């Protein structure tokens, strides 16, 4: 997410909020005593990391016909091998994928998200939309050594049911079947679809043409290089004139 807080004027509110949720910007957030009542309620019902609704918001919402529980593949591997900041970036990317489908998503905790809809087919279509979005989405993070890495190919697994318990049971079955079929990485293993995107290699800058600088010095100062020391072999005005034409 680009930009610092000093540059937030004129940006959409949602973008500002996403930046303020980054850990390094914690000191810039309002303290609780500075919040309005509306801001306090909003914070109470919002997942701090992703900006989606949290478990409490989910529980207080009126239920629809079908629920889908979504699990992020490979979060443990990302956390263990790239660091928690990379894991957070992955979770935020999944949250963005859910928002892109136009549904209200919630993060219950860890790598588990949930949303709901009125029909099984409609909910299943949203899950597929999330997967398509993630296949193209880039996850970018800064490692502990300061280097930056970008990944692509994150994915999720989902279970659908008329209740959250049914959706959770369906998700567990889907994960087991995926591991058995080789379509899902085992817990702690690297997901096969998660690939690092190579950064574009910067073209080496050509070596400067010293003759240009020497010519400029000679034109700026006619006395440049007049003195010649045979031992040190300083360049004289005559040498420059002869060799730089």
| pLDDT tens per residue, range 195-241 | 999 864 445 555 555 565 556 656 666 555 544 444 444 445 554 45
Please indicate, yes or no, whether residues 7 and 120 belong to a single structural domain of this protein. Answer: no
The pair of structure tokens assigned to 235 is: 């360049």
Please indicate, yes or no, whether residues 185 and 125 belong to a single structural domain of this protein. Answer: yes
Judge residue 38's burial from the number of C-beta atoms within 10 Å of its C-beta, 0-12 exposed, 13-18 middle, 19 or more buried. Answer: exposed
Residue, of 54 and 227, whose pLDDT is higher: 54
| pLDDT tens per residue, range 69-104 | 999 999 999 999 999 999 999 999 999 999 999 999
Mean pLDDT of 160-185: 94
Contacts of 23 (CB under 8 A, 6+ apart): 85, 88
Mean pLDDT of 61-67: 95
Please indicate, yes or no, whether residues 72 and 103 belong to a single structural domain of this protein. Answer: yes
The closest alpha carbon to 115, from 48, 64, 41, 81, belongs to 64
Please indicate, yes or no, whether residues 173 and 236 belong to a single structural domain of this protein. Answer: no
pLDDT of residue 221: 60
pLDDT, mean over the chain: 81
The closest alpha carbon to 156, from 92, 70, 96, 78, belongs to 70
How many domains, the chain? 3
Separation of alpha carbons 243 and 241, rounded Å: 6
pLDDT of residue 88: 95
Please indicate, yes or no, whether residues 155 and 231 belong to a single structural domain of this protein. Answer: no
pLDDT of residue 228: 45
Q: Examine residue 202 and state whether it is found in any structural domain, yes or no.
A: no
Please indicate, yes or no, whether residues 3 and 119 belong to a single structural domain of this protein. Answer: no
Please indicate, yes or no, whether residues 150 and 34 belong to a single structural domain of this protein. Answer: no
Please indicate, yes or no, whether residues 115 and 6 belong to a single structural domain of this protein. Answer: no
For the CA atoms of 19, 21, 25, 30, what is the dihedral angle to 10 degrees?
110
Residue 39 has pLDDT above 80, yes or no: yes
Q: Examine residue 141 and state whether it is found in any structural domain, yes or no.
A: yes
pLDDT bracket for residue 30 (50, 70, 90): confident
Please indicate, yes or no, whether residues 36 and 133 belong to a single structural domain of this protein. Answer: no
On whether the pTM is more than 0.85, the answer is no
Q: Examine residue 121 and state whether it is found in any structural domain, yes or no.
A: yes
Please indicate, yes or no, whether residues 92 and 185 belong to a single structural domain of this protein. Answer: yes
Q: Examine residue 230 and state whether it is found in any structural domain, yes or no.
A: yes
Separation of alpha carbons 141 and 217, rounded Å: 46
Cross-strand bridge partners of residue 157: 71
- Residues 40, 29: contact at Cβ < 8 Å? no
Separation of alpha carbons 183 and 169, rounded Å: 19
Cross-strand bridge partners of residue 220: none
Which structural domain range is residue 225 located in? Answer: 210-243
């Amino acid at each position: 997410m680009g930009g610092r807080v000093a540059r937030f004027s004129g940006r959409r509110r949602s973008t500002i909020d996403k930046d303020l949720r980054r850990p390094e910007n914690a000191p810039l957030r309002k303290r609780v005593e500075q919040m309005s009542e509306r801001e306090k309620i909003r914070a109470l019902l919002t997942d701090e990391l992703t900006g989606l609704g949290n478990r409490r918001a989910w529980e207080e919402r009126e239920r629809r016909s079908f629920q889908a529980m979504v699990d992020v593949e490979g979060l443990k591997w990302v956390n263990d091998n790239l660091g928690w900041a990379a894991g957070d970036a992955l979770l935020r990317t999944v949250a963005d994928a859910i928002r892109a489908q136009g549904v209200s998503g919630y993060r219950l905790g860890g790598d588990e998200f949930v949303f709901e809809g009125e029909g099984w087919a409609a909910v299943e279509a949203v899950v597929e939309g999330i997967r398509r979005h993630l296949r193209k989405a880039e996850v970018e993070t800064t490692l502990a050594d300061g280097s930056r890495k970008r990944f692509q190919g994150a994915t999720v697994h989902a279970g659908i049911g008329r209740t959250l318990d049914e959706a959770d049971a369906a998700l567990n079955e889907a994960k087991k079947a995926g591991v058995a079929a080789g379509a899902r990485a085992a817990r702690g293993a690297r997901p096969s679809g998660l690939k690092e995107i190579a950064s574009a290699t910067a073209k080496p800058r050509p070596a400067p043409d010293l003759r240009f600088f020497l010519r400029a010095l000679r034109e700026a100062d006619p006395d440049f290089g007049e003195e010649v020391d045979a031992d040190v072999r300083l360049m004289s005005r005559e040498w420059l004139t002869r060799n730089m034409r």
